[in-house]
Structures are given as structure tokens and as C-alpha cells.
Homo-oligomer: A and B are copies of this chain.
Amino acid sequence: MKNRSRKFSNVTIKDIAREAGVSYSTVSRVINNFEYIKPETRERVTDAMTELGYVANQHARRLVGGRSQVIGLLIHAFDSPYIGQIVQGIDEAVAEAEYDLMLYTTHRRKTRESTFVVSIARGLADGLLMVLPRDVDTYLDTLNQQGFPFVLIDYVATSNDVPAVSATNRQGAYDAAAHLIELGHRHIGFIAGDMVADSARERLQGYKDALVDNGISFESALVYEGDFFQSSGFAGADALLSLDAPPTAICASNDVMAFGAYEAVRSRGLRTPQDISIVGFDDIPQAAQVHPPLTTIRQPLQEMGRLATQMLLSWIEETVEEQLGYVQLPTELVARDSACSPTESVFYRS
């Protein structure tokens, strides 16, 4: 009755020990590349392994070893290129360190995300990476208290001792708005992201700051609250363009919403950037490929994933003793073709 469901994965270290006529600790040694093994013995063992098709049982190995060489990655879903870019950075760093990546998608078990996070990860992984975490406060304490290694990505830390990496969201949005102002725009709309995300709030703040610093008064009517998805970009731009005094330029809180704004502009028979300038945020790959190429704020997404992974790894492996902190990577304005000076020309000759 034991072995109830194991049809494969049968050949163990013992089988090959028997086959090679050695003790199984010797087999373990050749597997782990120990130095002092008679070449002949080593060969006999290797032969037996290939012959029997041996594959190490990682669970057993890790049970005794203590470390699992697995890191857990928690994301919301796989829908955006934004996530894809970050994951690519993570994946690279994880591969380099010869760790494996366990993927968890939050939509799976919405309830009690906190316990979920802690237990799920601890049982199998050595550390946890979380992209755009939401109810962080709920489990931050537990995580900390248990000393379980974790790093948050795109979480705007309030205190400096939360291991997290994000980009300079406020500064980025500031730069976006400032760019538009520099081009001559004075009436700039803003499409915000989902305000439960820290980054969304920071970007809005950056926009406001840029306005104020340039002597332009903030008008809440020019802010539309979106949700980071394309359709809300469309809706936002559409709403903004319906204003009595529509803006001459729009800052979107991410590229995808900027694409939505493109459509809204187009659907009104207007043109980007001649009639209305648009700038995005993220610089996802498509930003360069749409028409017109999108002027946007580049977030070093891959680098963020990569850095977060390296931070996590150094924690797990105790490479550094110092407390990990909050790191903000710089954003950068990428001026392409979607923003230009407002033409004094005809706009909304209503």
C-alpha cells in the first residue's frame, strides 16, 4: 500500500549502488562530485546511473540539505507586459543563481492572503518575491517576525527598512508633466492608475508637484481615476476631452492606458500629437512600436526584477549581514513622438 502513486521516479540511489556494487554513500559522493573517489569507482557508478536513468529526488535532497533552492514569486496575474518584463529580470537572476522559480498567482486564493503568503512560501521556498503587493501590512509583521526572506517589487515603502525595490514614481511623473510644460502645455490632464497601488498615488503626486513648481494651479477636474487597464485609458481620455476646457496634453499613469488614450483621441477624429499630446509611463516594449511611438517614462522593469532577486538571494545566502532596505531605481524620460508643442492652431473650434 505504500508507494501508492509512484509509477515513475523509482530508481533511487540504492538501486544504482547495488548495480555498481558500492555503498550508497559512495553514490551520493559521486553525485555531489566529491574529490577522493577512485576514478574506476566513479565510472562504474556513472555508468549505472545512466543505464538505470537515475534522477535525484530533490525533495529528499532538500529535506536533508535544509535549503530548497527555490524561490517563490507572487504576482496578480499574467496579463500585462509590465509583469512580463519584471518576471524576465527575475527569471534571469534566479537562473544565474541556479535556483528554481515557483509561481503563485494571487487570484488563486484570495482569502487570507497573509497566511497564504507565509505558509505557502515557507513550506517550499527559501524566499519570496512579491510584485505589486497589496495588503502588505497584513503580513509584513509575520514575515518579519519569522525571519522569512522576502523582497517586494514596486511597493512604495513608508519605512526604509522594508526590503523593496521600486522606481522613482513621483519623480517620473514629475518629469512627464514637466516635459509637457516645457513644450508649452499649461492645461494638462492626468489619467491615474488604480489608487490602491502605491505607485499610482506617487505618480499623481509627481504630476501635482510639477504643476505647482511651474506655477500652474492644480485642477481636480483634469484628473481621471483609471485602473491601469487600457479601457480606462480610453474612458479617461474621452472624459477629459469632453471637458468644456479640454486639456492639450494628457499624462497617463502607464503605457497601456496611454494606448487607450490614443484610441479615444482617434475616435474623435483628432490626432496625436498634433491635436493632443500624450505621455505614458513604464516604457513597455510596445511603447516604441505603436503609432506614433509613445513618449513615456521608462521604468527599468527588468532591472527591478533582477535587483530584487539579488537582494533576496543575498538575504537567503547571508551574503550580507546588513539589513536590506528600500531601493528606488531611477526612471527616465524617453521622448518619442507622442508629445509636441501645442499648436496655436485650431483645436475644438466649438
Q: Which residues of A contact B (CB under 8 A)?
A: 3-9, 53, 55-63, 66-68, 70, 73, 77-79, 81, 84, 87-88, 91, 95, 100-105, 107-109, 118-119, 122-124, 142, 145-149, 230, 259-260, 262-263, 266, 285-286, 289-291, 317-318
Q: Which single residue of chain B is at the shortest CB-CB distance from A148?
A: B8
Q: B66, B146, B259: which contacts A5 (Cβ < 8 A)?
A: B66
Contact (Cβ within 8 A) B123 A57: yes
**What CA separation (Å) do A72 and B149 show in the bound complex?**
24
Contact (Cβ within 8 A) A100 B102: yes
Chain B min CB distance to A113 (Å): 14
Contact (Cβ within 8 A) A118 B289: no
Contact (Cβ within 8 A) B66 A77: no
Q: B55, B123, B285: which contacts A123 (Cβ < 8 A)?
A: B55
Chain B positions within 8 Å of A318 at CB level = 5, 7
**What CA separation (Å) do A5 and B66 show in the bound complex?**
7
**What CA separation (Å) do A61 and B119 show in the bound complex?**
14
A-B contact pairs, 12 of them (CB 8 A): A5-B66, A9-B122, A55-B119, A56-B123, A58-B59, A61-B123, A95-B107, A102-B102, A102-B103, A259-B289, A263-B291, A286-B286
Chain B positions within 8 Å of A67 at CB level = 5-6
**What CA separation (Å) do A81 and B105 show in the bound complex?**
17
Contact (Cβ within 8 A) A63 B66: no
Additional A-B contact list (18), CB under 8 Å, known A59-B62, A95-B107, A100-B103: A7-B318, A8-B147, A55-B118, A55-B123, A56-B123, A57-B63, A57-B123, A58-B124, A63-B63, A79-B88, A81-B84, A91-B108, A95-B105, A95-B108, A102-B102, A230-B289, A266-B291, A286-B286
Q: Which of A60, A262, A285 has the most CB of B within 10 A?
A: A60
**What CA separation (Å) do A262 and B291 show in the bound complex?**
9
